[in-house]
Amino acid sequence: MRTKSVPLLGGALLVSLSLALTACGSGSGGGSKDASGSSGSYDKNATIGIGSLYEPQNLDNTGGGGQGVTEALNGNVYEGLFRLTDTGKVENLLAKDYKVGPDGLTYTFTLRKGVKFHSGKTLTSADVKYSIEKVMAEDSQSARKSSFDVVKSIATPDADTVEVTLSAKSISFVYNLSYIWIINADAKNLKTSEDGTGPYRLDKWTRGSALSLARFPGYWGTPATNQKVVFHYYKDATALNNALITNAVDVVTSEQSPDALDQFENNPNYKVNDGNSTTKLLLAFNDRVKPFNDVKVRKAVTSAIDNKKLLQSVWGDHGTLIGSMVPPTDPWYEDLTKVNPYDVALAKKELAEAGYAKGFGFTLDTPNYDPHPTAATFIKSELAKVGIDVKINIITPDEWYTKVYKNHDFSATLQEHVNDRDIVWYGNPDFYWGYDNKQVTAWVKQAEESDTTERQTALLKKVNTKIAEDAASDWLYLYPQIVVAGSKLSGYPLNGLNSQFYAYGIKKG
């Protein structure tokens, strides 16, 4: 099943066979640093081998290219009006600057001059209009499509100016634009070829095996610090690690096999980097149905599970406990791990108050790929201690999508949610977990229509605290984002926000 990154305003999880684990966060504020370069000399003509588990399905991110296409092409081959940096900041890229009208509904973007597509054509406002409309189009499979429902019209008064009118205020609009690739409006065959403005052009894509990028000599900005980048695709983590050990690749974008880390951590030839991820593992209750429509029951279950021990058993010393939906890289992060502490006595008390002193039983729909089955077994044993009997029901991602996501036919489920800023789903009562709190819904809406990021941040912090107090779900832990690289390599991204992997700053030598 294919992965895609999802809309900003509501990030989401990927239901993906090859599991999107950490790779797909969409980025946002918060800080991490680029892997700092050994500032010494480097080989300007180096070829960088990048190992990844996420092969693109095709090269079109509105045609179902999936997570892999974002990883390989975003920022490397295609650029947006804005760039989401590895630290989660939004910077001007193809937009030189922009103005927002007094009503907050009109955005005027001025394009950078002298930008050329790889085909040689000069970038104009018509290309920008085309690119935004491509994401909004009826046949667009972009998971970000719904984020652009607020766009009412796009005008191009001259070749360097784009004017977008919104139907409602949207403070995330500029941030959302960082996901939109600016594509030559005349380009054809975007599923197998490209025409972007990035520092690399597509060299060759061999399906099932590798995708290579070569430095684009006509790039408008700072040229890439290497001549060529080859993404090598693997189906399983062992093959990927073997490639790194045998120097078939220089860096692995997202390590998914914690057991394998030892061989790199104790080896001076490699560097293991712990970055920030946005992927959260959730025990999501169906908040509509008994017994999980009772806040007390949800709180009791949350307090009965030792998340720290679970994280330790899955990821060793990596990963973070969060206590709510917001990862540290989101601007509205707060440490809420104390709201529902691990406390078996408290859990028993809450269960008794809810009328379940003798416990109860429920079915846990568990996706069939790691780490879900492991987590399910752990949860079963933890909850047995407070008299709750868990029946583990293993399902495929496909069944999960139909049964849980579409039909809401479940009591509780496990799922990883990969995107940043996806707390806003708690403001949608129709979302699969059915959390329905009028106040939270209003806060989420007001946050999006805020005039300032301060107000947006303040409102979403309230949402965050409220859902934690209500134990709307049990946020088990935040995944680590681990990039392993040869020690001669520097300048690679560490956080993999929104699945992107900027390669243009990687230095070898």
* Residues in contact with other proteins by the rule CB under 8 A: 1-7, 10-18, 57-58, 63-64, 138-139, 141, 143, 145-146, 191-192, 204, 206-210, 212, 230, 232-236, 239, 242-243, 245-246, 248, 396-399, 401-402, 405-406, 417, 432
- The tokens describing 368, both together, are 């069939």
Judge whether 458 and 474 are in contact, CB under 8 Å. Answer: no
Give the residue with the Cβ less far from other proteins, 102 or 268: 268
Closer residue to other proteins (CB): 360 or 401: 401
CA–CA dist 351, 389 (Å, integer): 13
First to last CA, the chain: 38
Tokens of 178: 């960082």
CA angle at 363 for the pair 361 and 366, rounded to the nearest 5°: 145
- Under a CB-based contact definition with an 8 Å cutoff, are residues 253 and 116 in contact? no
- What letter does residue 486 receive in the DSSP assignment? E
Shortest reach from residue 232's CB to other proteins, in Å = 6
Q: How many CB atoms lie within 10 A of CB 345?
A: 9
| Nearest-approach distance from CB 312 to other proteins, in angstroms | 28
Residue 453: which of 325, 332, 278, 276 has the closest Cα?
Answer: 332
Smallest distance, other proteins to C-beta of residue 396, A? 7
Contact between 290 and 434 (Cβ < 8 Å)? no
State yes or no: cis peptide before 493, omega within 30 of 0: no
The CA distance from 454 to 421, in Å, is 15
DSSP string, 204-265: EEETTTEEEEEE-TT-SSSPPSSSEEEEEE-SSHHHHHHHHHTTS-SEESS---GGGHHHHH
